[in-house]
Structures are given as C-alpha cells and as structure tokens.
Amino acid sequence: MNGVVLISGNGSNLQSIINHSTAIDLDIKAVISNDSKAYGLKRAGCANIPTHTLSHKHFSSREKFDQALSNIINQYNPEIVILDGFMRILSAEFTHQYSGKMLNIHPSLLPKFQGLNTHQRVIEAKENQHGVSIHFVTEQLDGGPIIAQASVDVIDTDTTESLAKRVLFEEHKLFPKVIHWFTEGRLKLEKNHAMLDGKVL
C-alpha cells in the first residue's frame, strides 16, 4: 500500500516503519517535513525515499500551508498518511480530505495529556502509568478515535528522558503493527469509530 509520512523531528518511528515496511506491506512514497533540519529527512534519504520540506513559516495562514501540503501529498496518491511527530495543528479541511486514512502517534494514554510535553506533565501529575496512543486523525486535536495503546509503569526515579525512552520502545513496536492492520484492510474508520475486523475498538 502506498503511503506518505509527515515528520517534524528525529523520525525514530519513521525508522521503525522503514525497517518493517516490507513485512507490513507498506511502500513509503515520500517523507515530508515542515522543518528542513529534521533528522528524519536523513533517515528517509538513507532509505532512498523522496523527501520534501515545506516550512509553515512561509505561509500567511494555516489553511494555505495545509493546501500546499496536500498538493505535495496528492502527487503520490497515498492510501495511508502517517503522522510521526508532525508538530502542526491541521485545519478541518485538511483532516476531512484524508479522513479514514490518516493515522497519528501520540506519547500519552489518550485522552489524558493531549498536546505537548507529555512526559514531564505525567511525572508532575504523579501518574502511575504512561504510554503511547495511535489514533485516526480528526479535526479535534489528539482527539480522534483511538486504535491502540501501550503502557509503561512510571517509577519514582524517572526523568523525562528515561520515561521517554521506555515509551519510545513501545512506540516502535506498536506503530508498525497498527499500520499493518490498515494495509491488510482490517482497520477502518466508520461513523467516527475505529473498527478492526468489523468490531469497534
């Protein structure tokens, strides 16, 4: 299945997806970033995947950026659009355009800790559990139907770095697995519900 990946930073999940791409029936046609310094662009280059950079700073509105972004995406006719740490709030029009085929990974157990700095916020809130969520993207920030989650224990000695490292380990396992559900045709968005094998998740 043809896919496009959107990134803003390191792209460690992108690397995991690249490593598993054959096994999960995914052909990554392009990697797009809003930051030309994103290390994930180098990861894509090493895998001979076409890359594009589109800075949101060059656009007068969110909608104009999103239109330019969709123009690049649509060159590749992707059946799946994967957000790997893409640090942009997307317009309603953009999310509607790719409804049902856009997946996002978020470092918290949603609906808890939407937004940024999740690891630090979890520690400050003295939570016992933290983790990662993968969900369909809708116009509600980090609020689309949840597909899958993986959790880790929060321990007393955790720093943001140590906690982030354990969460990333789970991310790298879970994201390829969920993408494979989609490429197999088992995962769908129906009436704002994530469905796997015809059952609501």
The pLDDT, as a whole number, for residue 21 is 97
The pLDDT, as a whole number, for residue 32 is 98
Q: How far is CA 75 from CA 4, 29, 35, 78, 134, in A?
A: 10, 10, 20, 8, 26
> Does residue 68 register a pLDDT over 90?
yes
pLDDT tens, residue by residue, 5-54: 999 999 999 999 999 999 999 999 999 999 999 999 999 999 999 999 99
Q: Binding site: residue ranges?
A: 11-13, 62, 87-90, 104
> Does residue 141 register a pLDDT over 90?
no
DSSP line for 64-77? HHHHHHHHHHHTT-
Evaluate whether 174 touches 132 at the Cβ level (below 8 Å).
yes
End-to-end CA distance of the chain: 23
Q: Binding site for (6R)-10-formyltetrahydrofolate: residue ranges?
A: 62, 87-90, 104
The pLDDT, as a whole number, for residue 185 is 97
**For residue 129, what pLDDT band results from cuts at 50, 70 and 90?**
very high
- In the numeric block, the tokens 């392009």 are attached to 30
Catalytic residue ranges: 106
All domains in the chain, ordered by first residue:
2-200 (3.40.50.170)
Residue 177 carries which DSSP code?
H
| Phi, psi of 68, deg, nearest 5 | -65, -40
Beta strand segments in 24-155, E:
27-33, 51-53, 80-84, 102-106, 129-136, 146-153
pLDDT tens, residue by residue, 79-124: 999 999 999 989 999 999 999 999 999 999 999 999 999 999 999 9
Mean pLDDT, the chain, as a whole number? 96
Kindly state the tokens that stand for 119: 């690891």
Cβ atoms < 10 Å from Cβ of 153: 12
Evaluate whether 151 touches 134 at the Cβ level (below 8 Å).
no
* AA letter at 102: M
